[in-house]
Structure 1
Amino acid sequence: MNERHPVSQRLPVLAWASAHYALLLIFLVCVLIEGVLQGADFGLWGSPRWRGLTYQYAGFWRGLLDNWQPNYAAQPVVMFGSYGFLHGGAGHLLVNMITLISLGRLVIERVGQLRFAVIYALSLLGGAVGFAFLSTAVQPMVGASGALFGLAGVLTGWEYTARRLAREGIGPVLRVLVLLTLLNLIMYWAMGGNLAWETHLGGFLAGWLAGWWVRESNHHP
């Protein structure tokens, strides 16, 4: 038997979705891509080769900035954004999407959807630049972590600015920086060195810098 819910119970969900559609779009694209690849991995459709081919065409390959031959002419440019919508499995996706919702909504509530999208894009690009300059890996880099560390960076930067203007101590900001550093060290150890910390650093710095340009506003476009 179908259960009917009052309109008043449904509207808050719709209102939240309407106020966070930029975040939800990123979420849905990431989930859809990984869902298709998961199904292919388990033989539900397509071919198990789909994941490897997807990484081959859309992952970030450091070698393409040197003398590697791209699969298509625009790949060395496209990969600076496409890598952020791919993930290394369901666990990787789950952690990143929880972080996306948690941090993304905080940024949207402070600057609105358009500015959130700008910050996210700049952080995604910053993560790729960090990996390009600091990494020597021959494996592809995938994941939204660069952009997510960018969201952490802009929130931390805003907190730093607010405290300096209020002439308050920056102890809480320093604690966040220490915690993020420890988090990366622990993940680097747990993953046997297969952590793109360069992407995290690049994204965080890009997000912090974006906070100086994308000012806070009470208006939510």
Structure 2
Amino acid sequence: MEDPDFHPPVNPMPATVTLLFLALAGIEVVLSLAEAGIIGGPAAVGWRLALIRDFGFSGDVFDWMVANMQFPLRDLSRVVSYSFIHLGFTHAIFACVLLLALGKMVAEAMGQVAFLAIFFVSGIFGAVVYALVLDDPVWLVGAYPSVYGLIGGYSFVMWRKLAGQGEQQYRAFSLIAVLMGLQLIWGVFFDAGTQWVAELLGFACGFALSFVFAPGEWGRLRERIRHR
């Protein structure tokens, strides 16, 4: 009689990915229930707008901090906190799905510390450069710049894999090309805004960070330096 196999058919979700998902989803569940009138009473309808005001990222606020060289912790923390607030249930659910799928791939390929670094640094980089480059008064909210950073990490993994197999590496960028194409099509018919700039910056940051965090990259870098 064979011993039963207690190993799961697929690898479990990394703990850091699960915790981030629960944070994003938990906030959205509370806000959605409040807007539906299930919790919080009549005043709860304004919770989402209050969170955006208190924790969303404002380019105008950031410009004021830079111009005056004053960086209050409450406003400085917006470069991180904006990623945890979304405009609505649909806005949040797509971010959560991408986080689970891409976060699992990146964490398994590079480790959970790398996953966290790519997620948060990409979100911060996307917001800061977005504020410096554009003069858009619209507030930035949502995890998409951070998630696009994970797309950058995923693209790097595929880029290296395709190189090892001797295949065309441009295929590694198929996902970001499709997403940017959809953004372009959406912008033709609707006002898509400028958040895509922060998302594209997040992607570039995630891809660049992968040169630091991907296994074996430091060794490759040392070899290149040694041979120059």
Name the TM-score, length of structure 2 as normaliser.
Answer: 0.79
Indicate yes or no: 2:52 matched with 1:55: yes
Q: Aligned partners of 2:5 and 2:162: how far apart in 1? A: 40
**Aligned alpha-carbon RMSD (Å):** 2.8
Deviations 1:113-166 (A, max 9, x none): 122111212222122123222332212111111011111112212333444566
User: Hey, what's the Cα distance between the residues in 1 that align with 2:120 and 2:185?
Assistant: 27
SS in 1 for 2:111: helix
Q: Does 1 or 2 have the higher relative contact order (CA < 8 Å, sep 6+)?
A: 1
Aligned mates of 1:59, 1:200 — CA distance in 2: 16
What secondary structure does 1:48 align onto? helix
Uncovered stretches (5+) of structure 1, i.e. residues with no partner: 1-6
User: SS of the residue aligned with 1:151?
Assistant: helix
State the distance in 1 between where 2:211 and 2:121 align.
13
2:26 is the counterpart of 1:27 = no
Is 2:43 the counterpart of 1:44?
no
Structure 2 residue 61 is matched with structure 1 residue 67: no
Q: Report if the CA contact (8 A) 2:63-2:132 is conserved.
A: no
Question: Structure 1: how far apart are the matches of 2:200 and 2:95?
Answer: 16
Return the letter of the residue paired with 2:172.
Answer: V
Provide the C-alpha distance between the structure 2 equivalents of 1:177 and 1:98, rounded to a whole number of angstroms. Answer: 16
Q: TM-score, normalised by structure 1?
A: 0.81
Using the aligned pairs only, state the percent identity: 25
1:106 corresponds to which residue? Answer: 105
SS at match of 2:214: coil
Distance 1:159 1:8, change over 3 A: closer
- State the AA in 1 paired with 2:149: G
The match for 1:178 is: 177
Aligned counterparts of 1:171 and 1:66: Cα–Cα separation in 2:
37
Q: CA deviation at 1:54?
A: 0.3
Q: CA–CA distance in 1 between the matches of 2:78 and 2:9?
A: 34
SS in structure 1 at match of 2:64: coil
* Larger Rg belongs to: 2
